[in-house]
Amino acid sequence: MIVEDHATTRRALELMFRQSGWTVATAATMQDGLRLLESQPNYVFLDLMLPDGDGELLIQKARALNSPTRFIVTTGCSDPTRLESIRKMSLHAVLQKPLNFAKIASVVAD
């Protein structure tokens, strides 16, 4: 699942994963992401800064459901305190924007 408000980035990620054989659901908002989370996807590619809230809520919701979903957080945040807080959330990976598609491919191959 991809939760990203930037349409071009969302579409590029979707195409990359589909070409690699993945089934992909996408959302542009936190609320849409919360609805899709009920399907308990294997991975959620999550932008933390969404137009209707902080994507961290998705992670908290998944953890409350004991979901095995792995989160790969993408962020443009450069605040060291916020980045440290993000890294403490036991995520599969944290990737800084701008995104590097080779790095993304290596992260989901783990």
Q: Are 46 and 62 in contact (CB under 8 A)?
A: no
Are 29 and 57 spatial neighbours (Cβ–Cβ below 8 Å)? no
Q: Using 50, 70 and 90 to split pLDDT, how confident is the model at 51?
A: very high
* Mean pLDDT, the chain, whole residue set: 89
Question: Which CATH topology does 2-109 take?
Answer: Rossmann fold (3.40.50)
Looking at residues 18-37, what average pLDDT do you find?
Answer: 93
What tens digit of pLDDT does each residue of 60-86 get?
888 888 888 899 998 888 888 888 888
Q: What is the mean pLDDT of residues 41-70?
A: 89
pLDDT at 79: 85
According to the model, what pLDDT value does residue 110 have? 67
Percent of the chain whose pLDDT exceeds 70: 99
What is the Cα–Cα distance from 33 to 98, expressed in whole angstroms?
A: 22
At 78, phi and psi to the nearest 5?
-120, 5
pTM across the whole model:
0.89
First-to-last alpha carbon distance for the chain, in angstroms, is 17
Length of the chain: 110
Residue 100 has what pLDDT?
Answer: 85
Locate the domains of the chain by residue range: 2-109
